[in-house]
Amino acid sequence: MTELAAVKAALKTQAVETPSWAYGNSGTRFKVFAQQGVPRDPREKLDDAAKVHEFTGVAPTVALHIPWDTVDDYAALARHAEDRGLRLGTINSNTFQDDDYRLGSVCHPDAAVRRKAVDHLLECVDIMDATGSKALKLWFADGTNYPGQDDVRARQDRLAEALAEVYGRLGADQRMLLEYKLFEPAFYATDVPDWGTAYAHCLKLGPKARVVVDTGHHAPGTNIEFIVATLLREGKLGGFDFNSRFYADDDLMAGAADPFQLFRIMYEVVRGGGFTADVAFMLDQCHNVESKIPAIIRSVMNVQEATAKALLVDRSALADAQRAGDVLGANAVLMDAFDTDVRPLLREVREEMGLDADPMAAYARSGWAEKIVAERVGGEQAGWGA
């Protein structure tokens, strides 16, 4: 196989998971702008996700969020997905929307609240059994707002205890992805604020626990690709929540704010052997002012472009320059790949996959947007603005 053929083959195997909540209405704490035609239930979210997969060919799974996507029959929901060429992906837990969680969930000082939170996590594993989902994604809003508010060490102990119980419930082919976030909603101390804390817990738990890197969850200027390289090296990178940020956890389209950062991350993924089914490439976004389905298609395409550029890095030329201590030469090799216009290559890849070369235009022509506006009345909130 020529090198270009290998790059194309790799791109055809790419799988980007889209989040159910990105299809529904969402907003900031100031306002949720309701859009016409948004899904009214989890099935309709899957119908929209099927369109993203139909036009991109690389978005075959959808992440669910419980209880936002609660249904009576999860096996039936999985069949609904299958009928549309999709699979249900990661199950995201929600231990942040009840009044009980004012002082935290699994780290709460009251054992009764911790019990409620752990029971919810266990219920999420039951749902995984029914849907065939392989991963439970845990993001905890736990933390404190004031120094002295609670014992930060005791909170780590409570967290470890809760995680161990849920870990023990995982099936042989199921795993746990632990997400970290610097701040928000807690403003003084978050209980899982960084990759080091998440890594320490995952290491203690065992091989089924891995860290998930949400690109919006770091301090400005953090070298995220270094974190990716380190976690991959340790066999502890579980996946990504891709999105863009300008300021905090902005949840904008992946690759919109800083395509160069996305490329650098994808290069470390490729370099570290992480471009496999073992690492989950998820989006975690909200589309508050733009049209949702096109925004998700655009995001998937942005991830594809960053991946194509990462795959095009001339790694032997790079290694030669690095060995020779050729600082500018090595940098130039990396920049050559980033500066390549990969859009023609991706058009070819899509045509070879039997797709339209231009997913955005194909979706716009498809009439789906008009159809859902006409047929769906009274869309539900995705959850964030509710």
Identify whether the C-beta of residue 370 lies closer than 8 Å to the C-beta of residue 292: no
Of 142 and 214, CB closest to Mn ion: 214
What is the per-residue DSSP string for 146-194?
STTSS-HHHHHHHHHHHHHHHHHH--TT-EEEEE--SSSS-SSEESS-S
Please state, in angstroms and as integers, the Cα–Cα distance from residue 163 to each residue in 74, 138, 151, 368, following that order.
24, 10, 18, 42
Nearest 5 degrees, angle CA 176-CA 178-CA 182?
Answer: 175
Q: Are 69 and 42 in contact (CB under 8 A)?
A: yes
* 47 near ligand PSV (CB under 6 A): no
- List of residues 6+ apart from 73 with CB closer than 8 A: none
The span from the first CA to the last CA of the chain, in angstroms, equals 52
User: Three-state secondary structure along 8-63?
Assistant: HHHHHCCCEEEEHHHHCECECCCCECCCCCCCCCHHHHHHHHHHHHHHHCCCCEEE
Does 214 interact with Mn ion (rule: CB under 5 A)?
yes
Residue among 54, 214, 225, 305 that touches ligand PSV (CB under 6 A):
214
Q: Does 17 bind Mn ion (CB under 5 A)?
A: no
Q: Across the strands, what pairs with 320?
A: none
Under the binding rule (CB under 6 A), the answer on residue 17 touching ligand PSV is no
CB of 241 to Mn ion, least distance (A): 3
Type of residue numbered 276: T
User: Residue 241, interface with Mn ion (CB under 5 A)?
Assistant: yes
Binding site partner of 180, from Mn ion, ligand PSV, none, Cβ cut-off 5-8 A by kind: none
Among 53, 181, 201, 298, indicate the residue that binds ligand PSV (CB under 6 A): 181
When CB distances are held under 5 to 8 angstroms depending on the partner's kind, the choice from Mn ion, ligand PSV, none that residue 69 binds is none
The nearer residue to Mn ion, 44 or 249, going by C-beta atoms, is 249
Shortest distance, CB of residue 344 to Mn ion, whole angstroms? 33
* 356 contacts ligand PSV (rule: CB under 6 A): no
- 219-238 positions binding Mn ion, by CB under 5 A: none
* Contacting residue, 44, 69, 284, 356, with ligand PSV by CB under 6 A: 284
Minimum CB distance to Mn ion smaller for 48 or for 249? 249
Find the binding residues for Mn ion in span 260-289 (CB under 5 A).
284
Candidate list 225, 249, 268, 305; residue touching ligand PSV; CB under 6 A: 249
Spatial neighbors of 334 by CB under 8 A, at least 6 apart, are: 267, 313, 318
69 binds ligand PSV, rule: CB under 6 A: no
Which residues contact Mn ion (rule: CB under 5 A)? 214, 241, 249, 284
The residues that touch ligand PSV, with contacts defined as CB under 6 A, are 92, 139, 179, 181, 214, 241, 249, 284
